[in-house]
Structures are given as C-alpha cells and as structure tokens.
Chains A and B, each alone.
Chain A
Amino acid sequence: MQIAKQAAELTAQGIGRTYGDFHALDDISLTIGRGEFLTLLGPSGSGKTTFLMILAGFDRPTSGTLFKDGADVTRLPAEKRAFGMVFQGYALFPHMSVEKNIAFPLQIQGQSGTQIQSRVDDMIDRVGLRGHEKKRPADLSGGQQQRVALARALVFGPSVLLLDEPFSALDKNLRGSMQDEVRRLHQETGTTFVFVTHDQSEALALSTRVAIFNQGKLQQVASPRDIYERPANRFVAEFLGDINILPLAGAAMNGNGAVARCGEQQIRIASAAGAPTAHLAIRPEHMALSTERPAAGNVLPVTIEAVTYLGPMTRFAARVDAGPSLVLETPTHATTPNLVPGSHAWVSWKEEQGYFL
C-alpha cells in the first residue's frame, strides 16, 4: 500500500547559507527525484544538517532557490511544507504516550477520532510497536524510540521524509535491523526520503543515490556503486574507505587505454579510468599479494610492513620499494603464511581496477 499522498521532487538551485563570513553551505545544486532515497553523506560539520534544515523549512538559505515540484518554496515556512522529519535524538514528546505521539500530526490536521485511531493503529503495526502503545518514550529502548519517531513522521503521508542521522545513537546490530526497516518503509510508502549520515557503509547500503558533502560544498552525487568505484575527486575516494594512491610518471593515452610508469614498473590502465593524471587510485580489496611475481596484470614489488588478522580478511601494510605505503585486504583463507613483516612480495591488480584521480 502506498500511504504517501504523493511523493515530491525537490530541486535545490545554488543554495548557500552563511553565518557571518563562514560558508556553512556553498552553492548547492541538486535534484532529488520523486520517490528517491537520497543520502547526504559527509564528515561532521560539512553542512548536512544545515542543508536538511533548509529543505525542511526550519532555516532559510542566504542565497539560492528551493523548488518543490517546480514551485518556489524557499520562503515557505516548515509548518506549510508538511514534510515528515526524524530528528537526531528523535525529539519525541516526552509527556505523551507512544500512541499520542503518533497521533499528534493527525490531530493538527483536524482528522476525526476514528480516522486517527485507525491510522495510528496501522502505523503501530507497521513499525512493530504493538503492546507498547501506552508507554512513555522514556520507558522505551533506543530502537523503539526510533520506531516511534519514524511512525510519527510517516503517519500523515508526507510527500518527503527527512531523516537526520537517525541511527547514530544505536549500537551496531540494532543499526542493521533499523536500516532494513527504513528500507522497507521507503518501499511501502513510496515517499521521497532524504537521509543524513556520516557512516559511509550505511549510505552505500540504503540509498538510490548518495550526495557527498565536504566543507559546505557538494562533492559528487551518484549511485552508491559509482560513488565508490568512480569517485569524482580525492576527497570522495578517501572518505569512502581506504584507498591506495600511486604516483605516476609519463601517463599517456595508448590505444584503448593508457600507460604510465610507477617507479621502475610499467603500468597499464583501462580506458574507463578517465583522462590521464599523475595519480592512480586502487581500492585495497582490488589488490592481490603474492610471494612469486604474477604473470598477468600490473605488478609492483613491495616490502611487508605489518599484518593484521581481521577474521575473514587479513590486512597488510606494504611499502612499494622507494615509493608510497599501501593498504591491502585479502581473504584470510587465501593468504600464504610466509607473508610476514620484513618479507618481500608482489602486489598486483587488473588494469580495469585502477582509475585516475
């Protein structure tokens, strides 16, 4: 069942927000499609909350325009936008029961008692809070409070749901199950979701698209796969987990790809890696480590500096001879035991797995 009356499309055009001389947001342009699940991802202080508050109408941009379904809503106050919002820290009404919290937005809309009761009942079932209706928020666990906040934000069928770091206070296991829950609610309601997090794996797991923020600037908007595998710049590449960056010399196009030198070794790079630059980026899990020189792919000689056992994976720190230090992760079952600190080895990767930065 679709409980959203209609999912909305939001377009930000050159949105800026300054505090004195400080640019909390700088020229953000972005379209959030109908029914999309967009995640705003960035380090703390990068402007995610500020942008979300502007989308919600709790804050006004100092420059730029915000459109909802093509209409300018930049100056429309929050109470007229009627977006659902889940705040950091939940912001439940502590003096009201679970039921009353969820009923609050419906009462404001002036719905009849029976209508309110049936919608609240439906919502309580959807988020799995049956049996807790009469409790106060203080008597619930963190995960349950989170569910109340979700129910309260979705019960009136908002055209957009905004979520500000909703899971940051939950432990890791609970976080996983709440992520599943949010994904299910997104599918069931069909509403446009805008989700803020500073956790990159959460962003990759949930979203249809991810928007990366840093220092008030939008760095890249793309699907999780493209963000991870084709980051637009070094910040995005490094923010989404470990990455190895190799200095290149004499990079040039060559047939359907490019060639370059890294130290003594000749490196081949596939055409999808972009225009040649002086740096090649490769994710740690795309690199292999062996004691014998592999016959195929790009290879570099290294010295092992550290080995860390992580259960299913083993992590190596390895220094390219007279070059940069690399991080590698290989499946533990495929790791040879004689790769110990101080030993010499070869790293290798396929030519389509590196890209220019």
Chain B
Amino acid sequence: MRDILKPALLVGPLLLFLAAAYVVPFLGVLSWSFTLPEPGLHNYANALTDELILSVFLRTFRICLFVTVFAVIAAYAIALVWVRGTPAQRLAAEVCILIPFWISVLTRAFGWVALLSNRGLINTWLTQLGVISEPLTLVRNEFGVILGMTHFLVPFAVFPIASAMRSLDERVLLAARGMGASRARTFWQVFLPMTAPGVLGAAIIVFVFSLGFFITPAILGGGRSVMAAELIYLRIFQSPNWGLGAAISVLMMVVVGLLLGLLMRYARPKSMLS
C-alpha cells in the first residue's frame, strides 16, 4: 500500500499542475463552444457546413501531411549521419540539429521571407543569372508554408528516429552482411524495418505538432493559406465569435485524438513504446 502511495504523492503536484494548466481551460473552451452566444449546437453546425472553414481544415491536413512526409524523410537522413557517420559527420549533424533550437520561430520565418520573397535573395540571384525573367512565387503560398514548417519540425523528428537507430543491435546488421546481403539490401530489408517504430513516432510528433502551427503559416502564408490555428485566432480575437472559435478548437482536438487512437491501435504500440 505504501509502495503505491509514495509515487502518487511525488507525482501529485505535477498532476495538479497539468489539470490546472490544460484540463480546466479545455473544459472552459468546451463549454463556450456549446453556450456562446446562446446555448445549442449551432457552432458545430456552422463549423461543419461553412465552406470557408471546411476548406481551411482540408488545407491544414494537406499541408500537415506534406510537412510530415518531408520532415520525416529529411530527419531520417540526418539521424543516419548523426548516429552512423564518421566523427566529423556526427559533429556536423549535431550542430545542424541543435542550432535551430537557439533561433526563435519568428526569426526563422522572417529568414525564409528574406530568402524567398519576390525581391528576396533567391529571386534576385536567379534574375541576375538570367535563369528567370519574372520572380518566382516562393512565399505567401502553400509552398512557403510547407517549406518553413518542415524546416522548423525536422529537428524534432530527428530524436525519435535517432534513438531507434541507436538502440539497434549492430550485430543484426553484421549478420545480414555476413550472409551476403549488399549494403542496399541490408538497409531496405533490415535497417529500415527495424527503425520503423522510430519513424512512426517521429511522424506522429510532427503531424500533431504541425496541426497547431500558427506563426510560421501566418508569416509565410501571408494570409493566403490560412491554417486552422490562425482561423481560430481570427474567430476569437478579430471577428469576434468565441463560440465558433471554440467549436473549431474542439473539432481539431477530436481529430488529433482519433488519429492517435488509430495509430496506437494499428501501428503496434508495443514496439513504439519499447
């Protein structure tokens, strides 16, 4: 009995903090969605029928899907160098992974604007080199948003993948090579499947994280490719329609919950946790 109580006492304050910081506000938002401006389900009816809102949802999922795929592929390559490269390569990878954490998300978004805008570095160079005559539209569209978000999220995806690669038993790879398997075959048939749980974990982190992105799409989308978080912000602080904003928030939470539930169920959670 005491063995059970002791950890509960230690963890207790943390649980209280989480309740105060997440559960209570969420319950507040939940109640707004059903009561503002008057009680009823009208906010949900609006959110699920308004074409603008639905198109924002659709765009959000499309962008997040692309970001997840690109970020995970890039992170896999970086993790591979970080875990299995020569000492110099490892150091370089480590610097690439850690430096982004020291630069604020705002700085990075504006950095991309400076590179990608019509009078930005890339368009200026390409024009001067005579490759293009009209500037390319690289920003204030979905391309810019996907690029900026991918760039932001890659380091977060590196960690679960790298940890899966680190925990892999080197002898299993030697075994495959010893049986005559080429490097490529060892990678595709042994290394990649064995690190798949890390890839899945990284994909979940990136996808869920990207659904709530606000600053990067606001700056790099330039108001033209509004994502869900920005829409919620607009509904609450600008229109202001708190009830509708709250309903959209709740719908996003439900979607994230369903996605996580599906993944846990069908993607062998046992191997994900181990």
Binding site for B on A (CB under 8 A): 56-58, 78-83, 85, 87-89, 91-95, 104-105, 108-109, 152, 156
Closest chain A residue to B193 by CB distance?
A95
Can you name 11 A-B pairs with beta carbons within 8 Å? A57-B178, A78-B177, A79-B181, A81-B178, A85-B174, A85-B175, A92-B175, A93-B172, A94-B172, A95-B196, A152-B175
Residue among B169, B176, B178, B180 with most chain A CB within 10 A: B178
Shortest Cβ gap from B193 to chain A (Å): 4
A-B contact sample (10 more), CB < 8 A, given A58-B177, A79-B179, A104-B176: A79-B178, A79-B180, A80-B180, A91-B171, A93-B172, A93-B176, A93-B190, A95-B194, A95-B196, A104-B189
Q: Chain A residues near B194 (CB, 8 Å)? A: 93-95
Q: Chain A residues near B169 (CB, 8 Å)? A: 89, 91
Number of chain B interface residues as a range: 10 to 19
Q: Does B185 contact A (CB under 8 A)?
A: yes
Q: Chain B residues near A91 (CB, 8 Å)? A: 169, 171-172, 174-175
- The answer to whether A89 touches B171 (Cβ under 8 A) is yes
A89 and B193 CA atoms in complex are apart in Å by: 20
Closest chain A residue to B169 by CB distance?
A91
Q: Chain A residues near B172 (CB, 8 Å)? A: 91-94
Which of B171, B182, B189, B190 meets A79, CB within 8 Å? B182
Binding site for A on B (CB under 8 A): 169, 171-172, 174-182, 185, 189-190, 193-194, 196
Q: Chain B residues near A56 (CB, 8 Å)? A: 178
Shortest Cβ gap from B270 to chain A (Å): 9
A236 and B32 CA atoms in complex are apart in Å by: 83
Q: Chain B residues near A108 (CB, 8 Å)? A: 179-181, 185
A88 and B178 CA atoms in complex are apart in Å by: 14
Which of A89, A109, A152 meets B180, CB within 8 Å? A109
Per DSSP, chain B at the interface is helix
Q: Chain B residues near A109 (CB, 8 Å)? A: 180
Q: Chain B residues near A81 (CB, 8 Å)? A: 178
- The answer to whether B177 touches A87 (Cβ under 8 A) is no
Q: Chain B residues near A92 (CB, 8 Å)? A: 172, 175
A92 and B173 CA atoms in complex are apart in Å by: 10
Closest chain A residue to B270 by CB distance?
A138
- The answer to whether B179 touches A87 (Cβ under 8 A) is no
Residue among B169, B179, B189, B196 with most chain A CB within 10 A: B179
Shortest Cβ gap from A199 to chain B (Å): 20
- The answer to whether A78 touches B185 (Cβ under 8 A) is no
Q: Chain B residues near A80 (CB, 8 Å)? A: 180
Closest chain B residue to A85 by CB distance?
B178
Q: Chain B residues near A95 (CB, 8 Å)? A: 193-194, 196
Shortest Cβ gap from B184 to chain A (Å): 12
Q: Chain A residues near B175 (CB, 8 Å)? A: 85, 87, 91-93, 152
Q: Chain A residues near B193 (CB, 8 Å)? A: 95
Shortest Cβ gap from A148 to chain B (Å): 11
Shortest Cβ gap from A98 to chain B (Å): 15
Closest chain B residue to A86 by CB distance?
B175
Q: Chain A residues near B179 (CB, 8 Å)? A: 79, 82, 104-105, 108, 152, 156
A82 and B180 CA atoms in complex are apart in Å by: 6
A104 and B185 CA atoms in complex are apart in Å by: 11
